[in-house]
Amino acid sequence: MKRITIIGIALFLIFSGSSMASAQDNITPKHAHLSLGFALNHFHHDFGFGLTLTTPYFLNNQVAVRLSVNSSYFEGIPVDKTEYDWMPYTSCQLGLIGASAMVNDLIRLYGEGGVIYIIPNRQFSEKNVVGGFGHFGFEFFMNSGSPVCYFIEVGSLGTGAKAERLSEKPIYANGFATSVGLRFHF
């Protein structure tokens, strides 16, 4: 699993770097600075929210590193209870971003891949999990000089996380993932 994630990230960077080389000067410098974001997430069946911190873009304003911290809610019947409940858990993501040129100084397309670390709620699991993630994203700026953008990300998580303390040992934080939110570029 880890080899597949590393190989996937390497291939993504190779192919995205070669396709972006001709458009290297098109990212508006203001949009290449440090950014802070807020996201609403949906990981598999788990709703959540999170904060993101993105480094300034480098390598011709097309590569950045992003740290995300998320709080998600797994729905199930906790140990020693008889009714469904939402049980929070935490995930931390560290990813490498490859961005395209800006479209009309208003839209940026990007891909991100990296490592996800899950700290489960002890009501449903005792095992911290390390996995991989990847997604494609779109940033929509208000106008060409605006430091604020909305974003949409669609991709997947590969964690193998299971709620082993619950009767059917269901998976969580694994599979299809989406995020939407607001990002501020400083």
Sign of CA dihedral 171, 155, 143, 69: positive
The DSSP code for 58 is B
pTM of the model: 0.81
Residues of the chain with pLDDT under 70: 1-30
* pLDDT value of residue 157: 95
pLDDT value of position 161: 94
Place of tokens 């400083």: 186
Return the residue matching tokens 């998320």. 70
Angle at 120 between CA 181 and CA 97, to 5 degrees: 40
Largest CA distance in the chain: 60
Q: Where are the domains of the chain?
A: 1-21+33-65+75-127+161-175
pLDDT for position 121: 93
As given in the structure block, the two tokens for residue 121 are: 């709620």
